[in-house]
Amino acid sequence: MWPQLKSYLIYFLTGGIFTVLIVALEENGSRLLSGFATLMPVFTLVAYIFIGESRGGIAVGQHAWFVLIGTIISWVPYMIVVATLAPKMGSKSAITIGMATFFVCAGAYLWVVYHYRLFGEV
C-alpha cells in the first residue's frame, strides 16, 4: 500500500508544480511563457508517463484517442463560451457557464464512450 501512496504523492506534486509555475509566470508578467505553459498538455504529459510505466503503451494510446476526441467535444465548446462571455459578463460568470457547458458535453461524450465500449478499457 505504501508504494501506491508514494506514487500518488509524486503524481500530485508533479501536477501541482506545473500549475504553480503557470500561475507564477502569469502573475509576474510573463504572459508569453505562461501562455506557452498553459498550452502544454501538462496533465496528460505527467499522466501518460505514469500510465505508460504501470499499464504500457497500448493503454496510453487508447487513452490518448479518448482524450483527443473528448477534448474536441467538451474543451472546445468550454473555451468558446469563456472567450465569448468573459468580456461581457466577467470571468467568474463566464467560467461558471463554460464549466456547465463542459460538463454537459463531457457527460454526453462519456455516456457514448461507455455505452458503445469505445477506446478499449478507459
Q: Which domain holds residue 121?
A: 57-122
- pLDDT over 90 (residue 11): no
pLDDT of residue 8: 83
Residue with cell 463566464: 94
- Is the residue at 47 inside a domain? no
Based on the domain organization, do 62 and 122 belong to the same domain? yes
Q: Tell me the three cell numbers of residue 112.
A: 457514448
Domain count, the chain: 2
Q: Tell me the three cell numbers of residue 25.
A: 509566470
- Is the residue at 52 inside a domain? no
Lowest mean pLDDT among 35-39, 59-63, 85-89, 111-115: 35-39
User: In whole numbers, what is the pLDDT of the chain averaged over residues?
Assistant: 90
Compute, in degrees rounded to 10, the torsion defined by CA atoms 55, 57, 62, 68: 120
- Which tens digits make up the pLDDT trace of 66-86? 999 999 999 999 999 999 999
CB contact at 8 A, 82 and 95: yes
- pLDDT over 90 (residue 38): no
Tell me the C-alpha distance between 43 and 47, whole Å.
Answer: 6
- pLDDT over 90 (residue 107): yes
Tell me the C-alpha distance between 103 and 120, whole Å.
Answer: 22
